[in-house]
Amino acid sequence: MTRLFLGRVYSIGILTGPSPFALATPAEIANPVLTRESIPGPLATFVADPFMIRVDGTWHMFFEVMTWRPGGKKGVIAHATSRDGRCWSYRQVVLAEPFHLSYPYVFEWGSEHYMVPESTAAGAVRLYRADPFPDRWVFVTNLLVGPVHLDNSIFRRNGRWWMLTATDPRRGTLRLFAASDLTGPWSEHPKSPVVAADLRTARPAGRVVSTPERLTRFAQDCRNDYGTGVRAFEITKLTIRDYEETALEPSPLLAGSGHGWNRSGMHHIDAHQLDDGTWMACVDGWSRRLRRPREIARWAADHFG
């Protein structure tokens, strides 16, 4: 029987454990916690790239929703909430632009909340500020300008701001930028690119985890296919002149399970340490879906006439 390949379907799950490197699905969670079916209306084809932040006792998750309608597809940023990090409620789309958005890297600085979504379709790395949090995000400034800056991951360490960004997804190139102030100016590090020509380790896969003991970045393994697994690297030296890192075990840290919502691969993690010292992370996973051409035609007719 003839079938039509529709590509990947991403979903979002929650993992917990004693460290970011020893995570599993707890018994009280039925993963995935968010899917395309969680989004009202017919336009969501998948949900991916989740980032969390806890504000006034509530967990807020921001994530990409890939929308589709005749003529094309585009990513927008949506919002969900949870009191315990286990059960999540979808709220609404909070940021949409004429261009594609994904990877909504959200963080707090001072008394403000900021977001740096992937906006390479706009030709820049764009900074947004919540006004007010969490429903409205206003454009602040372009941090970097250039044709390709993917999965931009910003963090603060040693009194400075740092940004890891993938600039050549076909070859595997990771560049490092630094700034004294969040709004810039940003300058490329003298050791950049810090990864060159390595599809296993270049593209960022979530929030950089900064603790007093360790600075950890996560990378997508794209050697055989895009986003099949997540690897972890400890950044062992980070100064205005030097950069060094070492791979951490297990490797890959996350990978496809062979069945269910993350059957084919996993490509994102955002890990947070809880008050009791344990860790919770939002992750995404994907599987391939097939549909018959008649099913596709009937679905389009039902939703778009």
Q: Are 261 and 277 a contacting pair, CB within 8 Å?
A: no
Beta-carbon contacts of 275 under 8 Å, excluding residues fewer than 6 positions away, are none
Q: Give dist(CA 50, CA 91) in Å, integer.
A: 14
DSSP 235: E
What pTM was estimated for this model as a whole?
Answer: 0.93
- Name the CATH superfamily for 11-304: Glycosyl hydrolase domain; family 43 (2.115.10.20)
Percent of the chain with pLDDT over 90: 88
Taking the alpha carbons at both ends of the chain, their separation in whole angstroms is 27
- Model pLDDT, residue 8: 87
Q: Give dist(CA 163, CA 234) in Å, integer.
A: 15
Alpha-carbon distances of 10 from 44, 93, 233, 287, rounded to whole Å: 11, 17, 24, 7
Quickly state the pLDDT bin for 292 (edges 50, 70, 90). Answer: very low
Is residue 89 over pLDDT 90?
yes
Is residue 305 over pLDDT 80?
no
- What one-letter code names the amino acid at 1? M
* CA-derived radius of gyration, the chain: 19
DSSP 49: E
Bridge partners, residue 60, by sequence: 53, 81
Q: Where are the domains of the chain?
A: 11-304
Is residue 5 over pLDDT 60?
no
Largest CA distance in the chain: 61
